[in-house]
Amino acid sequence: MARGTMGGNKGGGNFNNLMKQAQKMQMEMQKAQKELEEKTFEGHAGGGAVRIEMNGKKELTAVEIQPDVADPDDIEMLQDLIMAAFNQAAGKVDEETQSTMGGITGGMKIPGM
């Protein structure tokens, strides 16, 4: 009876190495994710009239609005500035996440990253 390539211990070493590499990558990704979550990212709009800070989990941690921007007759402009500053900071979080995780995964597309 002929033996197939799946029988015996052939290839077992490669599989074990692959599993070790995957575990190492997972540990590195968890560490990098934790470090990213603890970083602070800033977004600015209106020449610094609005400044926001967020962490790597995209949670808003601070908002600063210069008083001269808070015009009660033009609330829409203030809302637009806040959105622009938030989106800028969120974009920085995304860029940093992609850069950091891409370095670990070697450019592999990992779901949820």
CB 43 within 8 A of CB 52: yes
| Sole residue written with tokens 């590195």 | 28
**Is the predicted pLDDT of residue 4 greater than 50, yes or no?**
no
User: Residue 108 — pLDDT band, cuts 50, 70, 90?
Assistant: low
The dihedrals phi and psi of 87, each to the nearest 5 degrees, come to -65, -35
In the chain, where the domains are located: 40-105
pLDDT at 12: 65
**Cα gap 10→95, rounded to integer Å:** 42
* Better-scored residue on pLDDT, 100 or 4: 100
How do residues 33-44 score in pLDDT, each as one tens digit?
899 999 999 999
Give yes or no for a contact between 37 and 74, defined as CB atoms under 8 angstroms apart. Answer: no
Each residue's pLDDT tens digit, 65-90:
999 998 999 999 999 999 999 999 99
Nearest in space to 41 (alpha carbons), one of 17, 60, 69, 25: 60
Note the pTM of the prediction, 2 decimals. Answer: 0.71
For residue 13, pLDDT over 70 is answered with yes
Q: What is the maximum span of the chain, computed from C-alpha positions, in angstroms?
A: 88
Could you please state the CATH topology (level 3) that the domain comprising 40-105 is classified under.
Ybab; Chain: A; (3.30.1310)
Residues 84-97 have pLDDT tens digits of 999 999 999 999 99
Nearest to 105 by CA among 45, 50, 30: 30
